[in-house]
Amino acid sequence: MRIRFPDKQWFREKMAGLGGGMSRLEIDELERKWLSVSLAMIGLFVGAIVVTAVSQGVHPPSHVETIDSASLHLSQEFAEDKLGVQPTPLADGSLQVRLVAGRYGFYPREIEVPAGRRIVFRMASMDVLHGAHIPMTNMSTMIVPGYVSEVVSVFPKPGEYPMLCNEYCGLGHDHMWSKVTVIAQENWREPATGGKQP
């Protein structure tokens, strides 16, 4: 069977255009402008990631420190009586908070931290992938099983904040959250023990 091409003028023009036009790509002036804008934006974003990674040590939360998720409760750091706000501040005065994430909660369930102080969160998962997020703050990280996630935050305003799980971890994911109470600096007392227990 023969394929019949239309012998109309528009068809001949189109075919001629394809033959001759493909060798030099024509880009509309406006299109060219938008192309450079979008390429510049991509360059800017990649540049920002590279600059912060190099200058501020920003890195993905995992692959830095490993830990055995199955024996967290026996570990030096994440044993049950070592969780919560640590009684001894770090050398620079920051407070360290240790949390274990597991289906479906963060343990301890409630923590109290002072406002305006550098808080170093160290978190590990006892089962699957979780996320920790305190809305309206920079506190947001994935908690990958097998790795310790560390994130630093400062809460300027006293109040009650929820800490939510933001990685789908199972049927109870929606109910996985803990309470973070930020206490005004003048009312803060250093914890005597390993913080509040669940």
Could you count the other beta carbons within 10 Å of the beta carbon of residue 51? Answer: 11
Q: Does residue 100 bind ligand CUA (CB under 6 A)?
A: no
34 binds ligand CUA (CB under 6 A): no
Identify which range of 64-72, 113-121, 164-172, 181-189 contacts ligand CUA by CB under 6 A.
164-172
Q: Tokens 């790795």 belong to which residue?
A: 147
Among 67, 108, 124, 130, binds ligand CUA (CB under 6 A): 130
User: What is the closest distance, in whole angstroms, from the C-beta atom of residue 89 to ligand CUA in the complex?
Assistant: 29
The pair phi, psi for residue 29, each rounded to 5°, is -55, -45
- Residue in this structure with the two tokens 């570990």, named with its chain if needed: 75
> Which residue in 102, 69, 98 sits closest to 169, CA to CA?
102
Euclidean distance between CA atoms 176 and 58, whole angstroms: 27
Report d(CA 134, CA 164) in Å as an integer: 6
Tell whether residue 176 is a contact of ligand CUA (CB under 6 A): yes
Burial class (CB in 10 A: 0-12, 13-18, 19+), 114: buried
Binding region for ligand CUA (CB under 6 A) out of 32-40, 62-70, 169-177, 189-197: 169-177
Using rule CB under 6 A, residue 98 touches ligand CUA: no
Among the candidate windows 41-49, 65-73, 163-171, 189-197, which touches ligand CUA by CB under 6 A?
163-171
Instruction: Please select the residue that binds ligand CUA; options are 14, 41, 168, 184, rule is CB under 6 A.
Output: 168
Site residues for ligand CUA per CB under 6 A: 130, 165, 167-169, 173, 176
